[in-house]
Chain A
Amino acid sequence: MGTIGATLLRAGRRFVSSLPALFGVLVFTFLLMRVLPGDPAVFFASGPNAGKEEIEVIRRQLGLDKPLPNQLVIYLTDVARGNLGRSMMTGQAVAKDLKERLPASLELTLTALLIALVSAVPLGVIAALRPGSLVDHGVRLFCSLGVCVPTFVSGLLLIYVFYYLFGLAPDPTGRIDIFASLPPQRTGFLIIDFLLAGDVEGWWAAARQLMLPAVTMALFVIAPLARITRASMLVSLGSDFVRTARSVGLSWWRIVVTYALRNAILPVITIAGIVFSTMLGANVLVEKVFSWPGVASYALDALLVSDYAPVQGFVLLMATIFVIVNLLVDVLYGIADPRATVA
């Protein structure tokens, strides 16, 4: 009880101390977007006959005719009220867009991270058990391939093989077959919503749709996770307590999994946290290739057309998620290694 309380207290303190950073991100992104040379009013007034007048109308609508400090104050007050502005590109409120798209991104990223962890940790362990062996080299080769092939190439390749050539995968257009009906929305995670609705067929359809993009993303992040598992396992396997465990004749499984792996897992958790945050923001290529309606492709489209509000909303969202993931990693530390709570 005491350790959990201490962990929560620490997490709370960390969260409060990250608020100024979030505020800084907010102001910085706001200024950065305005420094960029693109003018959203000109871009969006691009009908065949749009002239000066139309540009002015849009500029007024966006509030861009006001001085910069005024704009910033208006923006901060709106954000404090939970209003992230309106996207010119989709015509919708940014908060609504992000709310609809975040579950798609999270579902994809979490599945990819799960696949990556489930394959990277055993790979790392196997490689560490026989360093320098053929297995170790095999894992190294696989990891190098995964990390050096860009995600859009591996994505297109997977589509070509599994969809185009063999027809095993469904068409790579978003989260669900366009002819299928959606489950009632509860969590926004389709594979959970389908389960809640008891629709097994729908669940299978959604899971199939998720497979290729998740594997594409996982391939890219297996390398750092497997390599860090291997390095950390090597240290742990060579340490005194493992030697002692061996000498007292504990079973292979207990030595490797209970003693060595548990001690080796801390750096893996740290990397997993970083990998997750990076994936969420940087999976734009995967989202584009698979027409996945996620937040990253939304932000990129907005950035190209200088649509300020969605980009600012996206950066704020990412910063918040980063803070939350770091907190989570802290909490997991406490569970993996009780000594961490003392510090």
Chain B
Amino acid sequence: MSFEMSKRSLFAATALLAVTLAVPSAHAQSRAETLRYVTGATVNTLDPNIPGSTREAFALSMSSYDRLVSFGRKQLNGKWVFDLDTITGELAESYSVSADGLKITFKLRSDAKFQDGSPVTAEDVKWSLDRCVTAPILGKAQLLTGSLTSADQFKVIDPLTIEVTLPKPDKLALPNLATVYPIIINSKLAKAHATAEDPWALNWTKENAAGSGAYIVETFKPGEQVIAKRNDAWNRGTPDKPAAFKRLIIQSVPEPATRANLVERGDADLVIDLQASDVQSLEGKGKLKVISTPQYNAVTFISMNNTIPPFDNVNVRRAIAYALPYDDMFKAALFSRGAPLYGATWADGKPPSGGYPIPQPIKLDLEKAKAYLKDAGMPDGFSTTFSFNVGQAATAEPMAALVKESLGKIGIKVDIQKLPDAQMSTAINEKKLPFFIEGIVAWLPSTDYFYRNFYTGKQRWNYSSTDNAELEKIAQEARFEADKAKYEEEGKALNAIHFDQMFQIPIWQAAQDAVMQPTVDGYVYQFTRQVDYRNLSRK
């Protein structure tokens, strides 16, 4: 207590001194060492595992907590993106996978300390991973995809060694440990705040960070701002030194036009959620740095529920696919910022790659669309509703208008339905929408993962309600396929089924437009589709 008090009064004295001595140049100095990031969203919890966590909360947790391992980075068309295939140690100094692929052994860094100064031990790692697969939190469903389901799989060998056992060799086990959820928590601190009803201290971690990460949260005001200072003892970055910015401000600014003004005036350093039209004009002025990366782990669809007539008829789905005004939509909604998934040419009609998603050989062709409608027995068309959510209105509204116009030409009458976000997710979950715009994202974007999660089962993410036995069988086999060439063949087979059945229509991967001051350096497009503040520095 007395120590705490003295620390606090010391801090107050320093603060007072700093205020009295503050001169403009000192302020400018600290401004240069501060990263001010503005966003339309908000951080709502300090523990990314809490159900309802926002993407901004995920991004913050990447900096406030460490994980055992992290993804490397690679260049894709000249831009830095995360690299699923390079997994480097974060809290783990090294790791080894046994020859049969059933055991992963992690050796922890001996110098790693939590933000309160206590060392990171294998016990903390075990408690944190146990929590992730046992507590009713978001991490449970994620780690399941890497065959990590039970606390028995994590074994402490010695204070700096932990062993993970797998029921079968699963190539997604290791990458899963680099995702947002399996944070390593200071278990002594968390246990001190656990209660009988809340054995994993979820209520406490929601508002308190107890990690070893690069930034220490100082102020947390949900809906307004988070301010964090650098953890000078942190050395888990690639170059073995602390993060570059001394201070980090994450501020919620709901109005996109205001965010654009802020970054243009130089008051904000970085923003990733501007409207496409603003990005276009800022890029044209040439004063700011704009890095546009197609979100290569995300896809935007025009989706159809394959169980609701008339979309249960494959020829209706094909007719729609050839009646969409792809180019116009791409220009009107995204100002052509992104990677199109239409207009490809497949030699001899076969998919050229086993990746997902790949551009499909479809384009606007009303004659073909009419022919398919005729095959479907509906030459005069039909009526349907087309839905999108309010949160997506900036891009979806012009798309919907164009879809309505174009489908009208082949006799399909479309009613546009704009739904509040919660209503839209409820309707999709209950499989009530026939025809709508939606998007998906995968943190671990591999072909089988996409097909297993977004084209099977009765859960929400199977937008098209696809139920295709052959697709499911191949996707399940591909999951544990060790042979790369075979995996590629399986991917091609899945893509061929997808194109033939046209369950839903992948239209594009929108670009993530990061707009920043020219002095900001090191931006990497991350799997979270958010900024990893640890990457950034000022030139």
Contacts and interface: CB of A to CB of B under 8 A. Distances in A.
Interface of A: 36-40, 42-55, 57-58, 61, 88-92, 97, 156, 159-160, 163-164, 167, 171-174, 178-179, 181, 288-291, 293, 297-298, 301, 303-306
Nearest to A285: B255
B431 to A, nearest CB: 12
Nearest to B258: A172
Contacts of B283: none
**Which residue, of A49, A57, A303, has the highest number of chain B Cβ atoms within 10 A?**
A49
A42 B422 contact: yes
B420 A159 contact: no
A171 B425 CA distance: 35
Contact of B258 (A61, A159, A306): A159
Contacts of B384: none
A158 to B, nearest CB: 12
B511 interface: no
Interface of B is mostly: mixed
Given A159-B258, A173-B262, A49 B421 contact: no
B261 A164 contact: yes
Interface in B380-411: 390-391
Nearest to B253: A291
B255 A48 contact: no
Contacts of B429: 39, 42, 55
Contacts of A48: 142, 441-443
B138 A178 contact: no
Interface stretch (B50-58, B94-102, B370-378, B472-480): B50-58
Nearest to B18: A181
B195 interface: no
B314 interface: no
Given A47-B53, A49-B144, A53-B141, A90 B223 contact: yes
Contacts of A301: 223
Contacts of B45: 91
B3 to A, nearest CB: 24
Contacts of B423: 36-38, 306
Nearest to B30: A179
Contacts of A89: 44, 52, 222-223
A38 B422 contact: yes
B51 A54 contact: yes
A156 B52 contact: no
Contact of A291 (B15, B44, B254): B254
18 contacts: A38-B420, A38-B421, A38-B422, A42-B422, A46-B425, A47-B51, A48-B442, A50-B141, A53-B141, A89-B52, A90-B42, A164-B264, A173-B258, A181-B19, A288-B255, A291-B258, A293-B221, A306-B422
A38 B261 contact: no
Closest 10 CB pairs of A and B: A38-B422, A306-B422, A44-B52, A90-B222, A49-B141, A39-B426, A43-B422, A38-B423, A47-B138, A57-B136
Contacts of A290: 255, 258
B539 interface: no
Interface of B: 15, 19, 27, 31, 34, 36, 38, 42, 44-45, 50-53, 136, 138, 140-142, 144-145, 206-207, 221-225, 249, 251-255, 257-258, 261-262, 264-265, 267, 390-391, 420-423, 425-427, 429, 441-443, 453, 459-460
A36 B264 CA distance: 40
B209 to A, nearest CB: 13
Contacts of A291: 251-255, 258
B422 A40 contact: yes
Contacts of A163: 261, 265
A54 B138 contact: yes
Contact of A159 (B50, B261, B443): B261
A289 B52 contact: no
B207 A173 contact: no
Given A289-B255, A291-B253, A91 B44 contact: yes
Contacts of A91: 44-45, 50, 52, 206-207, 222
A5 to B, nearest CB: 45
B51 A57 contact: yes
A306 B390 CA distance: 13
A178 B249 contact: yes
Name the residue in A53, A61, A179, A303 with the highest tally of chain B Cβ atoms < 10 Å from its Cβ. Answer: A179
A61 B249 CA distance: 32
B459 A178 contact: no
Contacts of B42: 90
Q: Which of A42, A48, A160 has the most CB of B within 10 A?
A: A48
A122 B252 CA distance: 39
B453 A49 contact: yes
A174 B38 CA distance: 12
Nearest to A49: B141
A99 to B, nearest CB: 13
Contacts of A167: 265
